[in-house]
Amino acid sequence: MSRVGKAPISIPAGVEVKFDKGVVSVKGKLGELQQQISDVIEVSIEDGTINLNRKNEEKQSRADHGLYRALINNMVIGVSEGFEKKLELVGVGYRASNQGQLLDLSLGYSHNIVLEVPSEIKVETVTEKGKNPIVILKSHDKQLVGMVAAKIRSFRKPEPYKGKGVRFVGEYIRRKAGKTASK
């Protein structure tokens, strides 16, 4: 039995959850999200909690049970509290700025990278003297924030010798020793 799938999801105040024709809709103060649910999963909403049950014990059904529970839980948390990712630009001359939804990154290439961030995400850049620039992404959609953060990180992944690149705040980069001179 799926341990994740069995856990009930509590619905916080101000969040409205509906289940109709295989689609779960969650609406809260930060926005609205929808998720298509597999027909082997039954969703019941009662007394401020959401419970998921599966119709059979097949391997795929057991996997879907935990998956859809986690997706619905992330939707409930997203519309009530929201999600945030912080990226740090480590390197000499690396800069970030934004004008509305356009993120302008200077990452050591011959040109700046301009990325148009989806409208569901609030983007913010922080640049302090003596510290690395930080890009902050906030949204109610966890999957979208993760995808955009991964896209930004892919422009210049952290390298293991000097540690330069775009990394998540608090991410540990395993460092390697450089070449040693031989006599």
| Tens-place pLDDT, residues 46-55 | 888 999 988 8
Same domain, 50 and 99: no
Q: Which of 48, 80, 112 is the last residue of a domain?
A: 80
* CATH number of the domain enclosing 58: 3.90.930.12
Percent of the chain with pLDDT over 90: 66
Same domain, 161 and 90: yes
The Cα 18–Cα 24 span in angstroms is 6
pLDDT at position 180 is: 83
pLDDT at 142 over 90: yes
Percent of the chain with pLDDT over 70: 98
**Are 28 and 14 within 8 A, CB to CB?**
yes
pLDDT at 183 over 80: no
Structural domain containing residue 50: 3-80
Q: What mean pLDDT is predicted for residues 67-88?
A: 93
Reported confidence tier of residue 178, pLDDT bands at 50, 70, 90:
confident
Reported confidence tier of residue 125, pLDDT bands at 50, 70, 90:
very high
pLDDT at 2 over 70: no
pLDDT at position 97 is: 93
Considering the domain boundaries, does residue 175 fall inside one? Answer: no
Q: At what angle do helices 142-154 and 59-80 cross, to 10 degrees?
A: 90
pLDDT at position 134 is: 95
**Are 30 and 44 within 8 A, CB to CB?**
no
Same domain, 69 and 122: no
Considering the domain boundaries, does residue 180 fall inside one? Answer: no
pLDDT at position 181 is: 72
Same domain, 24 and 68: yes
**Are 156 and 166 within 8 A, CB to CB?**
yes
Classify residue 59 by its DSSP letter.
H
Considering the domain boundaries, does residue 42 fall inside one? Answer: yes
pLDDT at 91 over 60: yes
- One DSSP character per residue, 65-105 reads HHHHHHHHHHHHHHHHT-EEEEEEEESTT-EEEEETTEEEE
